[in-house]
Chain A
Amino acid sequence: MIAFGQFLEVLVSGLLAGVLYSLVALGFVLIFKASGVFNFAQGAMVLLAGLALVRSLDFMVGKGLPFWAAIVIALLFAAVVMAITAWMVERFVLGPLINQDGLTLFMSTIGVTFMIEGGAQMLFGSDVYPLRLFPSDAWFLFESSFPGGILVSKIDVWGGMIAAVLVVGLALFFQKTKTGRALRAVADDHAAAQSVGISLNWIWFIVWLVAGLVALVAATVWGTKLGVQFSITFLALKALPVLIIGGFTSVPGAIVGGLIVGAGEKLAEAYLGPFIGGGIEYWFAYVLALAVLMARPQGLFGERIIERI
């Protein structure tokens, strides 16, 4: 019974951690879907959003504003920062690079990553800033069934709920709104979308804005978990296997991929780790992704890749 309780605890914490990976992966999927750009800057955007949020929050709390008002204003401020970033990226980097191949665009987002990382830390400072939006203690569930119960951290649960709301919101946005449909049209075929009067530049701005807001949401959760700091940018690398497993173009795929990666990684660490040395969390997700790729090159939920000559 202890073993099963422990298994359940590892599984639940893995699944919840996976949801947090999905939060970052979602930003990738959005931009890839709408513009075919593999946005390496997503991790840096999480850092920027987090820094903007936590610094303005600290500033206003220091000025004596009530906490709830400070949060609202700080969220708005961070959203404006993300909007400005989105506009600048579209205007100065991606706009001039229209019609270049995917690799060039990917490289340019790495350049953007550098600029955002440098700029964000220069504007807002480069220390570790604790963020306390969500409670960070833990619940003990099922204490009657298992000795010691199952430890579930509250912030992970908050993250899960936020991710659920986000996915529903995004699904509605993509299915029901005019802009959302325009985004899907652009994703399908740039030229055809342009010919029916959809402005590419506007759409790209929107999509980077939405990705920026997703980054902001991810920053609230990850910032509470780890503190807002530079290492948050490595989330981008953690999100890659999630994308591979779920498929680059699928929003539900990002969620399911995140769950698989989170659970797989924690279980592997707990059950394989003792045999081959700890720290396999570090690469397990990638090897898992590699295995998935060998079986299904387009990921679990990706669109089938059809090649023509």
Chain B
Amino acid sequence: MFYRETGQFKSSYAADMQIFPIRQDRIALWVVLALAFIGIPLLNAFHIWPFGSEYMLRAILIPFLILSLAAIGLNILTGYCGQLSLGSGAFMAIGAYSAYKFATGVHLPFGLFDLSIPPLPMLPSILLGALMSAVVGILFGIPSLRIKGLYLAVATLAAQFFFDWVFIRVKWFTNYNSSGSVSAPDLNFFGFVVNAPIERYLLCLVFVAIFALLAKNLVRGNIGRQWMATRDMDIAAELMGIRPLYAKLSAFAISSFIMGVAGALWAFVYLGAWEPLAFSIDRSFQILFMVIIGGLGSILGSFLGAAFILVLPILLDQVPHALGVPISVETVSLLVFIITGALICWLLIVEPRGFARLWLTGKEKLRLWPYPY
């Protein structure tokens, strides 16, 4: 009744091709953005439940935003271009450690040409770190020209384990810190130091909004269609004149770039101080789960999946406390394992295409509601 496109006429090509062609969608988007950019900071400023507490921002909203960004990155590669990757953690780690190196100054003692870069400001560091991640992504994407599917997944696992090892063993990356852990430099953006949780939240929000818009537009355009053609049937796409080299490697590059940004944010903004373990194989799986549960080939799905995978264990953790059931911490964590696994299986059985598809179905229903047809 309220959600239908009747009467919304398009009089120009641009109007027809806009991201959200239905007015209600646009309104909804603006409402969500307004809530995220203005509403939550206001609620936080006046300490109104549930956004008044620091816990909400620190433990839920900030990781949610950053992991959504990582999920968008993986979704470009796996959801849009069809290249299964289990190396997301590695690409995030590369983004984080490179950004750290750029932010604290790079010094490469190569004898003949002694490369030294002075410490860079925060924003260029993050972007350059992400660029390094993109370069490595292209390198590890090269096998995708020859192999696909699960075989490729194992190839990306090689990236994961190799970089786990590199960041543990090569002390250069951690600035020879004896404990192997790294603490982030000040988050100084153009003279403004981001510190309070709400500022950190807004910083992540800005990054996520920009990259989500970028990703949405990329997948709508020429390159996105090349990715999707490659995903649907790579040989047919090649016969139609799509260069697989270009399509696949660009997907690897852009996906790892976004994951690199997410990694840098995860390390600098969320963790503050981190060890290589923060980007282990578990992280890769977590992000893959988000993408698949949320919906392959959907930007919205990345957010939904991230929310589900992140919030579910937290909720499950709280439920016994709330009900007053005395269960040991260990039992709870095992229960979380079991229930997460069961829910994943259940979701895959009910809707293998993830939350994004449920959302679409819901929208179709809404168009008719409350009439049967």
A and B are interacting partners: yes
A residues contacting B by CB (< 8 A) are 38, 92-93, 96-97, 100, 102-104, 106-108, 110-119, 121-122, 126, 237, 240-241, 243-244, 248, 277-280, 282-283, 286-287, 289-290, 293-294, 297, 299, 307, 309
Query: Is B143's CB within 8 Å of the partner chain A?
Result: yes
* Complex interface residues of chain B between 103 and 120 (CB less than 8 A to chain A): none
Docked complex Cα distance between A114 and B168 (Å): 27
Q: B157 and A237: CB pair below 8 A?
A: yes
Which candidate, B6-14, B42-50, B178-186, B327-335, is the interface stretch facing chain A? B327-335
A107-B143 contact, Cβ under 8 Å, with A122-B335, A126-B330, A286-B154: no
Please name all residues of chain A whose beta carbon is closer than 8 Å to the beta carbon of B158 when the two chains form the complex.
241, 283, 286-287, 289-290
Tell me if A118 and B150 are in contact (CB < 8 A).
no
Determine whether the beta carbon of A108 is less than 8 Å from that of B344. Answer: yes
Nearest CB of chain A from residue B179's CB, rounded to whole Å: 17
* Residues in B neighbouring A243, C-beta threshold 8 A: 154
26 A/B residue pairs, CB under 8 Å, sorted by A: A92-B345, A100-B352, A102-B150, A107-B288, A108-B348, A110-B341, A115-B338, A115-B341, A116-B341, A117-B337, A118-B338, A122-B331, A122-B338, A237-B157, A240-B154, A277-B170, A279-B165, A282-B164, A283-B162, A287-B162, A289-B158, A293-B146, A293-B151, A293-B155, A307-B235, A309-B239
Q: Across the interface, do A237 and B281 meet the contact criterion of CB distance under 8 Å?
A: yes
Q: How far is the CA of A162 from the CA of B342 in the complex (A)?
A: 34
Given contacts A93-B345, A279-B165, A290-B155, whether A106 and B335 have CB atoms under 8 Å apart is no
- Given A279-B165, A309-B233, CB of A118 within 8 Å of CB of B344: no
Q: Hey, which chain B residues are within 8 Å of A119, CB to CB? A: 334, 338
Task: Say yes or no: is B349 at the interface (Cβ < 8 Å to chain A).
Answer: yes
Cα distance A122–B334 in the bound complex, in angstroms: 7
Q: Is the interface of A mostly helix, strand, loop or mixed?
A: helix
Can you name the residue of chain A whose Cβ is closest to the Cβ of B346? A111
> Which residues from chain A contact B143 at a C-beta distance below 8 Å?
290, 293-294
Query: Is the Cβ of B157 less than 8 Å from the Cβ of A286?
Result: yes
Q: Which 8 A-B pairs have the closest CB atoms?
A: A114-B341, A118-B337, A286-B158, A111-B344, A115-B341, A118-B338, A283-B161, A111-B345
Chain B interface size, as a band, is 35 or more
**Which of chain A's residues has its CB closest to B145's CB?**
A294
Cα(A283)–Cα(B160), bound, Å: 9
Q: How far is the CA of A309 from the CA of B240 in the complex (A)?
A: 12
B residues 165-215 with Cβ under 8 Å of A? Answer: 165, 168-170
Chain B hits for A282, CB < 8 A: 161, 164-165
- Are B348 and A107 interface neighbours, CB within 8 A? yes
Residues in chain B near residue A112, CB distance under 8 A = 341, 345
Q: How far is the CB of A15 from chain B (nearest CB, A)?
A: 22
Q: Determine the residue in chain B with the shortest Cβ distance to A290.
A: B158
Given A107-B288, A107-B289, A122-B331, output 17 extra A-B contacts at Cβ < 8 Å. A100-B348, A100-B352, A104-B348, A104-B352, A108-B345, A110-B285, A111-B342, A111-B344, A116-B341, A119-B338, A244-B151, A277-B169, A286-B157, A286-B158, A293-B143, A297-B146, A309-B235
Query: Which residue of chain A lies nearest to B157 when distances are taken between CB atoms in the complex?
Result: A286
User: A293–B147 contact, CB under 8 A?
Assistant: yes
**B272 interfacial by beta-carbon distance below 8 Å:** no
**Shortest Cβ distance from A277 into B: residue:** B169
The answer to whether B236 and A309 touch across the interface, beta carbons within 8 angstroms, is yes
Contact A106 B236 (CB under 8 A): no
Nearest CB to that of B159 among chain A residues? Answer: A286
State whether B147 touches A297 (Cβ < 8 A).
yes
**In contact, A286 and B345 (Cβ under 8 angstroms):** no
* Complex Cα gap A156–B336 (Å): 36
Q: Using an 8 Å CB-CB cutoff, how does the interface string of B243-267 with A read, 1 for contact, 0 for none?
A: 0000000000000000000000000
Q: How long is the Cα–Cα vector from A65 to B95 in the complex, in angstroms?
A: 58
- Please indicate the chain A residues that have their CB under 8 angstroms from the CB of B338 in the complex: 114-115, 118-119, 122
How far is B296's CA from A104's CA once the two chains are assembled, in angstroms? 11
**Contact in complex: B334, A244 (CB < 8 Å):** no
In the complex, chain A residues whose CB is within 8 Å of the CB of B348: 97, 100, 104, 107-108, 111
Q: Kindly provide the distance from the CB of B61 to the nearest chain A CB, expressed in whole angstroms.
A: 25
Q: How many Å lie between the Cα of A106 and that of B85 in the bound state?
A: 13
B149 within 8 A of A: yes
Any A CB within 8 A of the CB of B310? no
Q: Residue B292 at the A interface, CB < 8 A?
A: yes
CA distance A282 to B342 in the complex (A): 31
Q: Is B84 located at the chain interface by the 8 A CB criterion?
A: yes
Closest to B333 in A: A118
Give bound CA distance, A309 to B236, whole Å: 7
- Residues on A with beta carbons closer than 8 Å to the beta carbon of B281: 237
Closest Cβ–Cβ distance, residue A257 to chain B (whole Å): 12
Query: B165 contacts A93, CB within 8 Å?
Result: no
Q: How far is the CA of A111 from the CA of B344 in the complex (A)?
A: 6
